Amino acid sequence: MRAAIVIVGAGVVGLSTAYQLARAGLRDILVLERGTVGSGSSGKSLGGFRVDFSTEVNIRFSLESLKALEGFADEFGVDPDLRRIGYLLVTPSEALAARLRENASRLARFGVEVELLAPEEIGARWPYLYTADLAGGTFCARDGTIGPSELAQGYAAGARRQGVTILEGAEVVGIEVRGGRVMGVQTRTERVETTRVLCAAGAWSAWIGRMVGVEIPVRPVRRQVFVTGPCPAIRGEVPQVVEVGKGWVFRREGAGFLIYGPQDPAPEGVASLDWGSVGWAVAAAAHRVPPLAEAEVVGGWAGLYDISPDNHAILGPVPGLEGFYVATGFSGHGIMHSPAAGKAMAEVILTGRARSIDIAPLTIERFARGTLLEEPVTAHRQGDG
C-alpha cells in the first residue's frame, strides 16, 4: 500500500487536516485509526468553545475557528449544534481575578466584548450560584458549545467525499525512518509506503513520537464528567460555568446538568469512570451551585485531556526528521481549535508555511529553546474547561 501522507488518528484534528489537504488538491491521503472515527478524546469532550484566552495565539485560533464553525453546516452538510450559551469564568482568587481582567482588556483589542463582573452582579444574574467567596468573574456571550461527535463525523464525511481513505481498526505499531526521513508506516497487518506522517494521536502522541525517537511532550490526564438528573430549583439560562483555579465545570445538558469530577494523571493512556470520585464532584457542585446538592447523579463518562507543558498545542514539522509533522497537545481545547489547526497544518505540509494563521509560537522546538507560552487563567495545573 502507498500513500502521499499517513495521518495517525481520526479525531477532530487528524480529520480536519485530512479534509483541508484533500481540498487543497492532495491525493492518496490515508488516515489510520486504531478505534473508530472520534473514539479517542474527541468523542468524550464537552465541546465547549471560547475566545476568552490569555494568549494572542489562542485568541486567534478561537476567532479563526469560530468563523469556520459558523459555516460548518454549509461546508460539511452536518449541523454542528452550535449553541451560544456564553462562558462564565469565576474565581475566589484575587490573583486570578486580576488575570481575568487583563484578559478582558486584551480581548477588547480583538473586538471581543467580555463583561467584567463583581460577585454581587454574578449572584444577581445567576441566582443559583454561590458567590460569597468569589473575587470576581467574566462573561463572554460569544462563547458556547458545539457537538464534538457532529464535528468528527462532519470532517470524516467531508474528507471521504474528497477522496480521503479512513481506515478504522488500523493501529500504527511502527514508523520506518531511514537517513533522517520518514519512509513508511507499519500497522498490525500491513506496511504503507509514505514519505510523510502526521501525528494527530492526541493524548497518545508520546507513544507515536517514541516510534521515531522524538519526544512529544504530551501527557494524558483523566477527566471525569458526571451527569445529574433534573434540578427544578435551577431556573433560567445556564452558561458554561468554569471555576478557574479549581478545574471545575458546570452546564445544563438536556433535562439535567454536567459537572466535572477530579482530574488525575493517566500515564497508561486509559481512562475509565471512577464512581468513588462522585463525592468530590457533588461536593464541588453543591458548593458553587447549592441546589445541586439535591440532584441525583444518573451517569457519567471519562476521557483523556491531551496536556502539553505550557497548555498550548504543538503544531508543525519536527526539525531533523524530514516528513514528520505533529498536531497535538491541545490541552483540552482541541475541539474548538480543530478548524484553524487543520487548515494551518495542511498549509504547512503542502507549502512549508501556514498562511492563514501564525503557528510559529506553537513549534515543538519551543520546549528545547525554553520559549514556553503562558496561559495563567486556564493553565491545566489549575484546571480549565
Ligand X SMILES: Cc1cc2nc3c(=O)[nH]c(=O)nc-3n(C[C@H](O)[C@H](O)[C@H](O)COP(=O)(O)OP(=O)(O)OC[C@H]3O[C@@H](n4cnc5c(N)ncnc54)[C@H](O)[C@@H]3O)c2cc1C
Query: Which residue ranges make up the site for ligand X (CB under 6 A)?
Result: 8-14, 32-35, 39-42, 44-48, 171-172, 200-204, 223, 225, 303-306, 328, 330, 332-336, 385
Of the two residues 156 and 336, which places its CB atom closer to ligand X in the complex? Answer: 336
Query: Which amino acid, residue 327?
Result: A
Of the two residues 119 and 300, which places its CB atom closer to ligand X in the complex? Answer: 300
Nearest distance from C-beta of residue 89 to ligand X, angstroms = 13
HSE-CB for 233 with a 13 A CA cutoff = 11
Nearest distance from C-beta of residue 46 to ligand X, angstroms = 4
Nearest to 62 by CA among 363, 340, 354: 340
Question: Could you tell me how far CA 346 lies from the centroid of its own chain?
Answer: 19
User: Residue 111 and residue 18: Cα distance in Å, rounded?
Assistant: 32
Nearest distance from C-beta of residue 362 to ligand X, angstroms = 13
C-alpha cell at 214: 522524538
What are residue 23's phi and psi, to 5 degrees? Answer: -65, -30
Name the pairing type of β-strands 248-253 and 240-243: antiparallel
User: Residue 113 and residue 136: Cα distance in Å, rounded?
Assistant: 17
3-state secondary structure of 161: helix
User: Residue 262 and residue 278: Cα distance in Å, rounded?
Assistant: 9
Nearest to 225 by CA among 269, 267, 263: 263
What are residue 235's phi and psi, to 5 degrees? Answer: -115, 160
- Residue 327, H or E segment: strand 324-328
Q: Which residue has the cell 509506503?
A: 193
Nearest distance from C-beta of residue 232 to ligand X, angstroms = 26
CA angle, 42 as apex, 39 and 46 as ends, to 5°?
A: 125
What are residue 374's phi and psi, to 5 degrees? Answer: -130, 125
**Helix/strand/coil percentages in the chain, nearest 5:** 35, 25, 40
